Each structure stands twice: as C-alpha cells, then as structure tokens.
Amino acid sequence: MNLSQLRFASAVASTGSFTAAAAQCCVTQPTLSNGIAQLENELGERLFVRTTRHVALTPFGVHVLPYINEVLSAQTCLVHQAQVFLSPHKRLIRIGTSPLVSSSLLGLMIEPFRLRNADVEVVLREMNLTDLYRMLDDGLLDFVFGVANVNKGPWTTTFLYEEPLRFIPRGTVQTHGPRGPSVQIKDIADEIFVMVPDACGLSRATRALFRSQRRKLHEYSGEAMSYQVLQEWALLGIGCAIVPSSKVVASARASFPIADKSGREVTLSFEASWSKNGTQAPHLLEFADHLREVVPGIMAGLEPGTRR
C-alpha cells in the first residue's frame, strides 16, 4: 500500500462520492478507483459499498478508517517537523479545524491576517475534535477551531461565529415536513434522527439541544460517515437530520430553521482555543489578537444568523 491509496480512501469516506473524492485528490476517477481496489486487495476486505445513490463504508471500512487517518496524520506531522527543524526561524501558525467548521467562513477569518503577514505560513489540518485537542496539548497545533463548549480544558478561548441549525425531514417534505416556516424541538421529538460519529461536535451539540428542551433524542442505530450521506439517508426516509446551514447539500429537497420556545433561531456556536502556557512567539500572539479583535467585526458584516 502507499499514501496515495490511503488518501483516496479517506477522501471517499469524507465526501461519500468517488467522483468528488477524485476531484479533491486531483486524479481521474479510474485512478482513484484502481488505487482503492488495490488497497482493498492488500487489506483483504472491501472498504466501501456502492449503490446508485451513494457510497458508504462497509463495517470493515468503519473499523479501519480511523487507522488510515492516523497514518495520514502521522505523515503530515513528519513533514511538518522536518520543515521546522530545517527552517527554525520560519514563522508558522498551525490550525486544527473540525470538519464542521464552514470552509468559506474559515477563509474569511484567516485571509485578512495572511494579507497583513505575508511571511507567516498558515498550516491547516482537519481532524476530529478529540485528536485536535490532544495535539494542542502536545504542542503539535497552535490553535483549534471547533464547536464551542464541547471540550473543556486548560485553554484560552474566544468566540468565532455562530451558524443556524437546519432540520431536514425524512423522505418527502409533503409527507414528513413541518407545517410552518420553522420547526420547534417539541414538534420533531418523536422522529428518528440519523447521526454522524461523535467526532466533529455535531452529535454532542444535537443531544445537548434535545436535553435543553427536556426531550429524548431518538437516534437511528446506524451512523452516516459524512454530512452528505446523512442527508441522503434522510431523503431515503431512514430518519431526519440536523446540520448547520453551511453543510446543507444541494440534494436535500428542503431544510427548515429550528426555533426555540420563544421563536428565536437555534444556532451552533464555534470558538478558537489555544494553550494558556503555549509559546509566546510574537506572530502567534498577534494572531490571537486578530481572532479576538478583528474576526468579530468580519462576522458582524455577514448575514444575520452567521454571527453572535
């Protein structure tokens, strides 16, 4: 096996599509398919099952995917540490992000700093939150962007932005959709919800939302491995889904705002975290100030619902 084959498998798992994964990896679809077939042959079992509607991990694929991602992360760490040793005076900012963080908003938050500091290299890494905070503790990351109040620890934090949560009915809207422009938790409490693995913060946030309304969350026994698959399963009628507005895919026939008891839109908050005892390098302190002082103004200029 080789790293390219592992990257192909990880990309298919995250996108839920061979076509999208090939585009992400900048290869043709036959190249990606052949690489995954060779990897499956060496491992001894199929990683994915394909239907006309979607691609899903097999039970074997679910089991080995974390190890595939761990190898890829180790390779990234190796390359980075080699660069740090060979260029000790190079100014780097290492940011770990949850898959739930909006890519478009991430760019809006970081780009002004990069334009003012052309000699600073920003290195992004997307992983599950548990691994990100572990790497922050180990000094392998400088900042973590993720769901607020998910991981409590000895970190300094600052609010980044908030995003509306959307309810996606199961099956057709006519049969299972809400009757009004928005939906309250009490209206959907008896539904079954498809969930993603508790790695990005969405599942914990969804459970906390139901607990805050004193409602029991009924979870589908299986798990979707991507936000796209989660919504495709909702369309198939397997269960409903709750996702941030930026993760609603085009294939979702309709999604609806979620309102609290007072009628206010329910949102998911995101924050940046960094070590209280970390390095005091000037460019890292400047970036922390950027997050606290500049980013709120950037978010305030966006449409309502994407800011606090």
Interacting residues of 4 by C-beta distance below 8 A, sequence separation 6+: 25, 35
- Read off the pLDDT of each residue in 97-126 and give the average, rounded to a whole number: 90
pLDDT of residue 31: 92
Interval 232-285: pLDDT, tens:
898 889 999 999 998 888 665 688 899 988 888 999 999 999 987 765 788 999
Q: For the chain, what are the domain ranges?
A: 3-68, 71-161+268-300, 163-267
DSSP secondary structure, 5-34, as one string? HHHHHHHHHHHS-HHHHHHHHTS-HHHHHH
pLDDT of residue 87: 63
Cβ contact 121:110 at 8 Å: no
Nearest to 94 by CA among 281, 262, 252, 237: 281
Weakest-pLDDT range from 25-34, 86-95, 162-171: 86-95
Q: What is the CATH number of domain 3-68?
A: 1.10.10.10
- Report pTM: 0.70
pLDDT of residue 307: 45
pLDDT of residue 86: 66
pLDDT of residue 294: 92
DSSP secondary structure, 39-83, as one string? HHHHHTS-SEEE-SS-EEE-HHHHHHHHHHHHHHHHHHHHHHHHH
Q: What is the CATH number of domain 71-161+268-300?
A: 3.40.190.10
Spatial separation of the C-alpha atoms in residues 57 and 52, rounded to whole Å: 15
Spatial separation of the C-alpha atoms in residues 143 and 95, rounded to whole Å: 5
pLDDT of residue 39: 94
pLDDT of residue 308: 42
- Choose which CATH entry (3.40.640.10, 3.40.190.10, 3.30.565.10, 3.30.70.270) describes domain 163-267: 3.40.190.10
Judge whether 71-161+268-300 and 163-267 match in fold.
Answer: yes
85 or 70: whose pLDDT is higher?
70
Interval 12-66: pLDDT, tens:
998 888 888 888 888 898 999 999 999 999 999 999 998 767 788 999 999 899 8
pLDDT of residue 116: 92
Residue 187 has pLDDT above 80, yes or no: yes
Spatial separation of the C-alpha atoms in residues 160 and 157, rounded to whole Å: 9
- Read off the pLDDT of each residue in 142-150 and give the average, rounded to a whole number: 89
Interval 223-247: pLDDT, tens:
888 888 888 898 889 999 999 998 8
pLDDT of residue 172: 64
